[in-house]
Structure 1
Amino acid sequence: MEQARAVKTVVVEPTPAELADRVADRFLTRLRARTRDGRVAHVCLTGGSMGGAVLAAAAEHPRAAKIDWSLVHFWWGDERFVARDDADRNSLQSRRALLDRIPVPAENVHEAAEPGEMTLDEAAAAYAAELARYGTDERPWPSFAVCFLGVGPDGHIASLFPDRPEVTVTDAAVLPVRDSPKPPPERITLTRPVINASKRVWLVLTGADKASALGLALAGASYASVPAAGAKGRRRTVFFVDEAAASEVSPDLIDLDY
C-alpha cells in the first residue's frame, strides 16, 4: 500500500468541460461501487470553478439516480468563514451544483459554522468534533472514499498555503486560518493528516497557469513550499487535468485508462 501511495498518476482531457465530465463519471462509479452493498461513503469536496463543474456534471449524469445518497456524507476540505449565503462560500457552490439536486439527507451534509454562530476558532473546533463523530479506532476523522482538491497556481490545496505554518501541522484535524494570502482572509481548513487518510485523493486543475504547480507537485517538491506535492491518497493519488495544465507532465505519468 505504501508503494501505491508513492505513485501519482495524471489523467488528461482536452478541455475543462470534458475533464469535468470524466471526473464526474469516475466519481459516480466509485460511489456506486462503495454504496451498492450498504457501505457508507464519506466524500470531501472542494470549491473553485472546477469543483463546481464536476459536481454539476455529476448531477446531470444518468448514474446519479442509481446512487443511494442516504449512504453518502459530504464534507469540505476548507471553507471560507463567511455567511452561508455568501457567493464565496464553498458549500453554497456545492449545494447549487449537486447537493440541492439529489436526495441526500440534511444530516449527511456537514457544513462549517458561519460568522455570528461561532468565532473562527470555535468553528474550527466544532468541525473537528463533527469529524470525530465519524472517526475510527485509528484516527478521529473518517477516511474519505474520495477527497477532491483544487490546486492554486501557487500550489496550495484546501487552505494550506505555501510557507505558512498550517501546512506542517500534524496534531490537529482542523485549523483556523487568518490573513489568508487569497481572499477572503478568514477560513477553516483540514490538515494534511486528514487529507492523506483518504482512500483516494483526486486533484482537479485546469489552465496553463497551473502547469508549473502541477510539474512541481509531480516532481516531489517540498510540500511546505508546494502543498499539492504532499497530498497522497492511501490507495490512489490522481491529478485530473486539461491539456493546458499538462504541458510540463512527463508522458510516462499519464494514465490513459483510468
Structure 2
Amino acid sequence: MSPGAETVPHPDKATLAAESAERALAVLAEAQEERGEATVVLTGGSMGAAVLAALGASPRRAEVDWSRVNVWWSDERFVAEDSPERNCVQAVEALGGALTLNPDRVHYMGDAGEFATAEDAALDYRRELAAAADAEQRTEAFPVFDLSLLGLGPDGHVASLFPGLPHVHDPEATVVAVHGSPKPPPDRISMTLPLVNAARRVWFLVAGADKAEAVAAVRAGAPLERTPGAGVRGTEETLLLVTQDCLPG
C-alpha cells in the first residue's frame, strides 16, 4: 500500500458515514472551484450507501452544485436494470432524491437487459470513459476522477476484483468483465486497479470486525493475488476510513 496512506478510525458506522460525507463534500466543492465541475466514482456495499444517505442529509450539501457533478461506478453486477443487486439501484435508493444530479453526467454501467454479455457492457463503459476524456481534452482513456469511494470485502476484494481472479492489475485494461465471482451474482463489470488508482483521492469505507483481517492485510501491503485491496493508492491521497473494530485492540 502507498507509504502515504492514512488510517482514520471512527467509533461507529454512523460517525464513519457522517464524517466521510463531510469530507466528500469538501473535496467536490474544491474540485468545482478548481475546474468548474467535480467527478466521483461510487461503489456498492452498506457503507457506500450509508455515506450517500449522509451526503443527501447533510446541511452542507448546498455547497456543491450537484448539476455539475459527474458520477461513475467502479463496478456493477451484470443483472437486470432494476435489480436490487445493482450498485446504482442501491445508490439511487440511498440518496432518495435529495441531490439534483444532471442525468447526462450520471454514467451507469450496462445491464443484462441492454447487453448480451458482461464483455459487451465493459466495452461500452470503456467507450463512455474515453468519450468523457475526449470532452476534457485528455490524452488518457478516462476523465479526471477527483474522488473514488471503495469498500473492502473480508477477503480483501475491492470493486469486483476478487483474490485469484484475472484482470486484478491488468495494465492494458481499464474496465473488464468478471466471471465466477465468489459472491453472487457471478457475472460483473469492474474497473481494474490501474483505473481505480487513477483517482486523485481514493478512500476505503470499511466497517465491522469481520473486515479486521482484510484491513490488516491492506495496511501490511499483502500480495495482490491474495488481497487486491493492498494495491489501491490514489495519485494524491489514500485513506482507510474505518470503524474502530476494524483495527487491533
TM-score of the two chains, using structure 2 as the length reference: 0.94
CA distance in 2, matches of 1:199, 1:42: 10
Paired residues of 1:148 and 1:203 also in contact (CA < 8 A): yes
CA distance in 1, matches of 2:169, 2:27: 30
2:91 equivalent in structure 1 = 94
- 1:34 maps to a residue whose letter is A
The 10-residue stretch of structure 1 (111-120 or 43-52) with the greater mean CA deviation from structure 2 = 111-120
Alignment of 1:217 with 2:218, yes or no, is yes
**Residue 5 of structure 1: CA displacement?**
4.8
1:251 equivalent in structure 2 = none
- 1:59 maps to a residue whose letter is G
**Residue 117 of structure 1: CA displacement?**
1.1
2:119 equivalent in structure 1 = 121
CA distance in 1, matches of 2:96, 2:73: 13
- 2:161 maps to a residue whose letter is L
Residue by residue over 1:93-135, the C-alpha shift from the partner in whole angstroms, topping out at 9 and shown as x without a partner, is: 1111127321111011100111121122111100111011122
CA distance in 2, matches of 1:163, 1:138: 32
- Name structure 1 gaps, 5 residues minimum: 249-258
2:206 equivalent in structure 1 = 205
Paired residues of 2:150 and 2:203 also in contact (CA < 8 A): yes
**Residue 21 of structure 1: CA displacement?**
0.4
CA distance in 2, matches of 1:133, 1:227: 28
Paired residues of 1:148 and 1:201 also in contact (CA < 8 A): yes
Residue 11 of structure 1 aligns to a residue in which SS?
strand
CA distance in 1, matches of 2:229, 2:241: 13
2:16 equivalent in structure 1 = 19
**Residue 220 of structure 1: CA displacement?**
1.1
Q: Which residue among 61, 69, 72 is the counterpart of 1:75? A: 72
Report the identity percentage: 42
Residue 162 of structure 2 aligns to a residue in which SS?
coil
Give the 5 Å matches for 1:142-157.
142-157=143-158
Alignment of 1:168 with 2:165, yes or no, is no
Q: Which residue among 31, 35, 42 is the counterpart of 2:32? A: 35
Residue 19 of structure 2 aligns to a residue in which SS?
helix
CA distance in 2, matches of 1:57, 1:126: 31
Give the 5 Å matches for 1:182-201.
182-201=183-202
CA distance in 1, matches of 2:175, 2:96: 23
**Residue 60 of structure 1: CA displacement?**
0.3
CA distance in 1, matches of 2:3, 2:128: 30
- Name structure 2 gaps, 5 residues minimum: none
Paired residues of 2:9 and 2:243 also in contact (CA < 8 A): yes
CA RMSD between the two structures: 1.5
Residue by residue over 1:35-87, the C-alpha shift from the partner in whole angstroms, topping out at 9 and shown as x without a partner, is: 13552211100110000000000100011122111221001110001122211
1:256 equivalent in structure 2 = none
Alignment of 1:134 with 2:132, yes or no, is yes
Where in structure 1 do 4 or more consecutive aligned residues deviate above 6 Å? none
TM-score of the two chains, using structure 1 as the length reference: 0.91
Paired residues of 2:81 and 2:113 also in contact (CA < 8 A): no
